Amino acid sequence: MIHRDEFGVQVHALLEADRFRDYGPNGLQVEGRPEIRKLVSGVTASLALIEAAARAGADAILVHHGLFWRGQDGRVTGWMKRRLQVLLAHEINLFAYHLPLDAHPQWGNNAQLGQKLKLSIDGRFGEQDLGFLGTPAQPLTVAALTALLQYRLGRAPVVVEGDGRPIRRVAWCTGGAQGYFEAAIAAGADAFLTGEISEPQAHYARETGVAYFACGHHATERFGAAALGAHLAERFGLEHQFIDIDNPA
Ligand SMILES: [Zn+2]
């Protein structure tokens, strides 16, 4: 068991949350009961996750995508009202860590994805050093990396083949990091993996020869919250459950 405030202080320090310029507040977003015994982790603070956490008897939810983002108009109506209503009715604390959870060298989404793909991590790139660089045990073909991603993530990636060179150096950044592709190319990658693709990246891939793999925003960001939740549960003697709410995006 741990007090909510102590939990927040510890997680904030572990993730070095103050280092990041982010799109929303990191840390405690909605205050619940003071004591945490049961922690539920998940990717996004959706209504489905909040309701599942309430059914599971959670005292706190730990997510990558919280409720509050820059650009919202701040009104508590519609879906926002429903999500807050369930959280507040059950006195569940909501902790959200966005970029700090992508970046953490051990528990972060990028580190965890690299581990799942058996890439040895040897560098960082891109804005705020969120992108990771690594190498596979042996050079991969586009087909082999596609098959590995499908096996590890449970879904087929959208692939834009480059010039067919062997993939020795991989750059990746989970989620909606299509904007990191040019930095990945500049960093010398043979392939770039992220969650999503937008129209321009297909052309960059064809014109630079660097293969592009869009593997799913949710699919690439499923591992950080689960790994961090398990670690925190062990450290603070909590019960922990990762609840995956499937998302085709
Ligand atoms: Zn994301």
Instruction: Name the band, by pLDDT with cuts 50, 70 and 90, for residue 141.
Output: very high
| 113 and 45 belong to one structural domain | no
| 115 and 197 belong to one structural domain | yes
What six digits make up the tokens of 88?
Answer: 């507040």
| 144 and 214 belong to one structural domain | yes
**Which domain does 148 fall in, by range?**
109-220
The answer to whether residue 225 is domain-embedded is no
Alpha helices, DSSP H, located in the chain: 4-14, 47-55, 78-89, 99-103, 109-116, 142-153, 181-186, 199-208, 217-220, 223-236
What six digits make up the tokens of 247?
Answer: 């998302």
How many structural domains are present in the chain? Answer: 2
The answer to whether residue 239 is domain-embedded is no
Q: 2-51, pLDDT tens digit by residue? A: 999 999 999 999 999 999 999 999 999 999 999 999 999 999 999 999 99
From ligand 1's centre to the CA of 173, what distance in Å? 10
| 7 and 73 belong to one structural domain | yes
CB proximity list for 11: less than 8 A, separation 6 or greater: 17, 27, 62, 95, 97, 228, 232
The answer to whether residue 249 is domain-embedded is no
| 88 and 114 belong to one structural domain | no
| 143 and 202 belong to one structural domain | yes
* Residue at which a domain ends, from 97, 123, 152: 97
- Whether 35 and 4 have beta carbons less than 8 Å apart is answered as yes
Residue type, 27: G
| 6 and 81 belong to one structural domain | yes
CATH assignment of the domain containing 207: 3.40.1390.30
| 14 and 83 belong to one structural domain | yes
Rounded Cα distance between 132 and 110, Å, is: 7
Which pTM value belongs to this model? 0.96
| 59 and 145 belong to one structural domain | no
| 81 and 142 belong to one structural domain | no
Rounded Cα distance between 8 and 204, Å, is: 41
From ligand 1's centre to the CA of 176, what distance in Å? 6
* Residue at which a domain ends, from 45, 73, 97: 97
The answer to whether residue 67 is domain-embedded is yes
| 53 and 141 belong to one structural domain | no
Q: 48-101, pLDDT tens digit by residue? A: 999 999 999 999 999 999 999 999 999 999 999 999 999 999 999 999 999 999
The answer to whether residue 103 is domain-embedded is no
| 43 and 140 belong to one structural domain | no
* Residue at which a domain ends, from 70, 97, 124: 97
Q: What would the mean pLDDT of 147-176 be, rounded to a whole number? A: 97
The answer to whether residue 236 is domain-embedded is no
From ligand 1's centre to the CA of 196, what distance in Å? 10
The answer to whether residue 117 is domain-embedded is yes
Residue 217 has a pLDDT of: 97
From ligand 1's centre to the CA of 174, what distance in Å? 7
The answer to whether residue 27 is domain-embedded is yes
From ligand 1's centre to the CA of 217, what distance in Å? 6
Instruction: Name the band, by pLDDT with cuts 50, 70 and 90, for residue 209.
Output: very high
From ligand 1's centre to the CA of 63, what distance in Å? 10
From ligand 1's centre to the CA of 41, what distance in Å? 15
